[in-house]
Structure formats: C-alpha cells, structure tokens
C-alpha cells in the first residue's frame, strides 16, 4: 500500500512537472500603436512566439495617454506589464517615479553600444546618467509631395535639404487660384484658392513642433540649461513663428485652420504636407496617389527637424524570471527591427535602418535622421508639452497660425504659462 502511495506521488510530481514545463512563460507587452503600425508589431510578436515555444508574448495596444494612465494604476497594484513601449522624452517622467529598471548592463551584455544606433535615438534612452530603455526607432517630420502636381508645375522634386527661400518659391508655384494665378501675381485672389502649396498642422500641438524645429535651426533650445525655465531669446522665437505665420497670411500658400491636412493632401487639394512617417500607410492606401518625401526646409543656419523615437522599457518587477525573459525578447526585437520599418518608423538600430532605404517614400526621413531634435527630456514632459486643447503650446500655435494674433504677446503668454508649470 505504502509503495502504491509513493508511486502515485511520484507520478503526480512527474505529471505536474511535465505540465509546468509545457506552459510557456507569459509576458505582457504594452504599446501605443493603435494604427497600422500595431499590426506590424503584432506580426513581429507572432514571429517571436512561433520561434520561442517557452515564452508567449501578448501585445496590448491603446492610445498613449490612456496607456500611461493604465501603467501608473497597474504599477501601484503590482501588476505592471513586463515590457512597456514609450517615447524617449517620456523616460525621465517614469524613471523619476522609480517605475523603470535601469538596463544599461543588459544592453552592454547584449553587445550593443552607442555606435550601433542613431545618436538621437540612443541619447533618448537615458535619464540622470542611467540608461532605462532600448532604442527602437526614430520618427520625424518630413515633406510629403504629390509627384503628379509637381510634374504639372514643372518642378523637379528635391532629394535632400533645400533652403527656406527655395521651399517658399516652390510652394508659391504650386498654389493656384480659380483663375490660374499664383500668389504675388497681379489679380491673384487669396479667397478663391483651388490648390495650395503646403498643408501644415495648426490646430493641434504639431503647430508648436513646426515652430520648435525652426527654433532649433536657429541654434536655440526651448528651456534653459537647468531645464527649470523657458530659455530661448524672444527675438529668435519670433522669427521662427513669423516664418510659419507668413506661409498662411502673407504668401497664402497654406490653408488657414485646416481640419485635416492629411486628407487635403490625399485628395490633391495641397501639393505638399509636413508630417511624420506614421502617415505612410495612408499614402500607400490612397488609390492613384504617387508620392515621395524630402526633408523639411532649412530656414535658418542649422539643419534640425522635430522628431522623437519609440523606446522599449522593462518596468520594475519582482519576478526575475519574467524580467530576464523580457530582456531577451526586447533584444530579439531590436535585432529584428528591420521589419519594423514596414510600419513607417525608421529603425534606430543601424543594420536594420539599411532595409528602410529600400522601401518607397523613406528618402526624406532617412536624410533627416541625423538632425532629429527631440523635445527637452524632463520629468514634467507630459505637462509642459501636453497635446490637450487647453495646453499653452497648443493655444499659442492656434493664436498665431490660425487667428493671426501678435506673435510677441502670444509667445510671452506661452512662456509665462510654461514657467508656472515648471515651478510647481
């Protein structure tokens, strides 16, 4: 009897052990890719799962703001995901809360160094001299152009950076009123324009980003070196806003208050569009549209373009086995990020970025990658650079680019509001 009992125990242990070994370790991966980019990431996750039977990664996507809110709530309850994607400028905020694991040693052990990545992407993974993230990609503004409209106007599309004056001349030539006249010509009617040269965002926070990249082209940053106050010369800020404001109200090459600059470009109402690589799937889906990209114009002394980058973090977790599995997955993902280029994003990993150059429409983004200027990386990033409708940077952009208000007074108000947020 005793022998039978022992035998049953042994069998039970073996069966239980076998079942345990058969169950893959579960990893929760959260990201804010809610468009076609999410499908590309799902394909990468599926490939990982199919080649790593001992681990199963589940990708959850939602808009970035609710995603981060969910992360904060889940972290308090000890239920944080194993891998969390975010943007480089988001890192200081969550690292300052103590929610992210420093992973510089992991990155080093994997054989990665700064030379393996685009500098802007690599630099965006640090906070307080510690590395908290793997760089995944870069995304930045560029100029989309309609090939047919360029050909009709007799314009050869640029392949690299051009000056602000060259860009403006091109935009004027591509802007046509109902009588076929261009801005500056006798009889041009700005109230009856049938085709605009350029579509620019002005109702949301992208108006601020268009200004920020011009400020960086002048050689200035938005905040002071201590990052506790606004720190740029007012005259420089005014020049940058003025260049943008004139495109709308002086030269009439950009429609004022456009609700959907993307849609305007897709249907041929505008010949150019300044936007990021996340619009590439929309370009490919538009029947009959032939398009390409080139860098934004260099209006001032330096090449600079607003950009950001997705990074992959490992939230603090007590379970070491899950943390090690998460690290292995992220290392694999970075090494296979050439396929991530299909999402429109430009891989940060140099070997993976070479593949992006073979894809249609990446020229402008690839030639801009070296000059990406990210927003200041501060713990209050989400408050200072909020995209909410009441955010000072959004309101300032609307007042200058839509309502044509006095630049200096609006800018001083915006600076005061930002200083108040930073002082809290």
The pLDDT tens digits of the residues spanning 86-106 come to 999 999 999 999 999 999 999
Q: Extract the tokens encoding 89.
A: 């400028």
CA separation, residue 58 to residues 44, 45, 161, 291, 342 (Å): 11, 8, 41, 35, 20
Report pLDDT for 35: 80
Question: Is 295 buried (19+), middle (13-18) or exposed (0-12) by CB count in 10 A?
Answer: buried
**Mean of pLDDT over the chain:** 93
What sign results for the dihedral spanned by CA atoms 109, 103, 326, 48? negative
pLDDT at 5 over 70: no
Report pLDDT for 19: 47
pLDDT at 63 over 90: no
CA separation, residue 327 to residues 315, 320, 321, 347, 351 (Å): 11, 10, 10, 19, 20
pLDDT at 20 over 70: no
Report pLDDT for 348: 95
pLDDT class for 1, splitting at 50, 70, 90? Answer: very low
What pLDDT digit, counting tens, does each position of 334-374 carry? 999 999 999 889 999 999 988 888 899 999 999 999 899 99
**In sequence order, which residues have a C-beta less than 8 Å from that of residue 324 and are 6 or more positions away?**
none
Among 22-36, 185-199, 207-221, the range scoring the smallest mean pLDDT is 22-36
What pLDDT digit, counting tens, does each position of 361-413 carry? 999 999 999 899 999 989 998 899 988 889 999 999 999 999 999 999 999 99
pLDDT class for 198, splitting at 50, 70, 90? Answer: very high
pLDDT at 281 over 90: no
pLDDT at 274 over 90: yes
pLDDT class for 21, splitting at 50, 70, 90? Answer: low
pLDDT class for 192, splitting at 50, 70, 90? Answer: very high
């Amino acid at each position: 009897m005793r022998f039978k009992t022992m035998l049953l125990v042994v069998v039970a242990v073996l069966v239980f052990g076998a079942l345990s070994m058969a169950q893959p370790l579960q990893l929760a991966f959260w990201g804010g890719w809610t468009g076609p980019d999410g499908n590309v990431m799902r394909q990468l996750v599926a490939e990982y799962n199919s080649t790593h039977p001992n681990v199963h990664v589940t990708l959850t996507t939602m808009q970035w703001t609710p995603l981060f809110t969910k992360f904060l709530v889940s972290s308090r309850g000890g239920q944080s995901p194993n891998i969390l994607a975010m943007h480089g400028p988001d890192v200081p905020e969550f690292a300052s809360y103590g929610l992210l694991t420093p992973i510089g040693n992991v990155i080093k052990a994997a054989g990665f160094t700064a030379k393996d990545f685009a500098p802007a992407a690599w630099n965006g993974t640090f906070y307080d001299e510690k590395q908290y993230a793997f760089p995944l990609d870069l995304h930045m503004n560029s100029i989309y152009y309609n090939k047919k409209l360029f050909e009709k106007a007799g314009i050869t599309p640029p392949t690299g950076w051009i000056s602000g004056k060259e860009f403006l001349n091109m935009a004027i030539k591509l802007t046509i009123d109902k009588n076929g006249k261009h801005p500056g010509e006798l009889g041009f009617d700005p109230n009856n324009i049938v085709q605009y040269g350029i579509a620019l965002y002005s109702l949301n926070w992208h108006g601020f980003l268009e200004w920020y990249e011009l400020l960086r082209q002048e050689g200035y940053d938005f905040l002071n070196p201590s990052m506790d106050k606004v720190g740029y010369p007012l005259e420089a800020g005014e020049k940058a806003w003025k260049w943008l404001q004139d495109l709308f109200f002086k030269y009439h090459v950009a429609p004022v208050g456009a609700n959907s600059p993307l849609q305007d470009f897709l249907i041929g109402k505008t010949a150019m569009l300044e936007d990021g690589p996340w619009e590439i799937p929309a370009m490919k889906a538009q029947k009959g549209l032939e398009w390409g990209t080139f860098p934004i114009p260099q209006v001032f002394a330096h090449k600079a373009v607003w950009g950001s980058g997705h990074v992959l973090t490992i939230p603090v977790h007590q379970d070491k086995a899950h943390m090690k599995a998460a690290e292995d997955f992220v290392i694999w993902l970075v090494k296979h990020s050439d396929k991530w280029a299909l999402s429109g994003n430009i891989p940060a990993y140099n070997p993976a970025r070479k593949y992006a150059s073979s894809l249609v429409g990446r020229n402008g983004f690839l030639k801009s990658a070296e000059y990406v200027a990210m927003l200041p990386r501060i713990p209050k990033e989400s408050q200072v650079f909020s995209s909410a409708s009441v955010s000072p940077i959004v309101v300032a952009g609307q007042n200058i680019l839509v309502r044509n208000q006095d630049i200096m007074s609006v800018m001083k108000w915006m600076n005061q509001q930002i200083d108040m947020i930073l002082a809290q």
